[in-house]
Amino acid sequence: MLFSESLKKNEQFRNVYGKGKSYADRNIVLYVWKNNTSKNRLGISCSKKVGNSVVRHRFARLVRESYRLHENIFNSGLDIVVVARACASDSNFHDIEKSLLYLAGCAHIIKNGEQTNIR
């Protein structure tokens, strides 16, 4: 992730959950909060309800890659937390990518005039 860092501490996640705004669809829940810096920070949360460690890690890799591919269209200065829903274990890359971009559009965190190229 060229322009982003990771959320790692529990305190950072709780801050986004408590103060941020949430958007949801079938596969993921997206929490967004302004962090007053010049970089975005991405956090990924996936509970054991989704599946075993292989499934959870696959979900995290898919989210990270779909964010990386479209990182340049996101506004900067945001804390973004992506939470997996139980049906996310059955989703492929295109479903996760589509959900992430759709919810980013709902949250108005995509730069004006940018087009999303969903393959």
Say how far apart CA 36 and CA 1 lie, in whole Å. Answer: 19
Residue 77: DSSP 8-state: S
pTM assigned to the model: 0.90
Q: How far apart are CA 47 and CA 15, in angstroms?
A: 19
Paired strand residues for 68: none
Tokens coding 4: 């982003």
Cα(113)–Cα(111) distance, integer angstroms: 6
Overall residue count recorded for the chain in this entry: 119
What's the pLDDT score for residue 62?
96
- Written as six digits, the tokens of 110 are 């995509």
* Domain 4-106 class in CATH: alpha beta
Q: Where are the domains of the chain?
A: 4-106
Per-residue pLDDT of the chain (119 residues; tens, 9 = 90+): 566 899 999 999 999 999 999 999 999 999 999 998 999 999 999 999 999 999 999 999 999 999 999 999 999 999 999 999 999 999 999 999 999 999 999 999 998 766 666 65
